[in-house]
């Protein structure tokens, strides 16, 4: 079975998908009119299959980074730099138009399945897709 066929099966079943975006860092506007805040530019939708993402075209991506959108009013005062960075990424996703609570994947890279040393992941993806289509305990 091809990865494109697997994507078509997931789409036909209405399997839960997630957003795929490109992180666009904050940058100065033209003519020096202030700074434009960071945002997430929508690329499309993907299915999370364990450590990989599958596009509707059948491309396999490495997961990259993930953030769940939280609107600013839900943030609490936190000192830790990692938490502050995470909040900024969530705000960037919200500015990109993603709804509250949505999972947004970014910095995902295409996996070269033909490169020597890359294991055959077809069986793994098929198993993970089956779990997405038939979650344990959903019967």
Give 96-124 pLDDT, tens digit per residue: 999 999 999 999 999 988 888 878 899 99
Query: For residue 31, is pLDDT > 80?
Result: no
pLDDT-based confidence at residue 76 (cuts at 50, 70, 90): low
Global pTM?
0.84
The per-residue pLDDT for 84 is 82
Give pLDDT, residue 32: 65
Alpha-carbon gap, residue 16 to 45, rounded angstroms: 10
Looking at residue 27, its pLDDT comes to 82
pLDDT exceeds 60 at position 77 = no
Residue 90 has pLDDT above 90, yes or no: yes
Helix (H, G, I), strand (E, B) or coil at 61: strand
For residues 73 and 2, which has the higher predicted lDDT (pLDDT)?
2
């Amino acid at each position: 079975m091809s990865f494109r066929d697997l994507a078509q099966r997931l789409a036909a079943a209405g399997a839960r998908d997630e957003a795929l975006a490109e992180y666009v860092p904050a940058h100065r506007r033209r003519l020096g009119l202030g700074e434009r805040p960071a945002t997430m530019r929508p690329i499309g939708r993907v299915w999370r299959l364990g450590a990989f993402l599958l596009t509707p075209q059948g491309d396999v991506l490495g997961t990259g980074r993930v953030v769940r959108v939280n609107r600013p009013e839900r943030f609490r005062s936190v000192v830790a730099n990692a938490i502050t960075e995470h909040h900024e990424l969530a705000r960037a996703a919200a500015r990109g138009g993603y709804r509250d609570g949505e999972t947004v994947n970014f910095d995902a890279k295409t996996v070269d399945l033909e490169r020597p040393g890359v294991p055959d992941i077809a069986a793994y993806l098929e198993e993970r897709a089956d779990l997405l289509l038939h979650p344990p305990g959903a019967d």
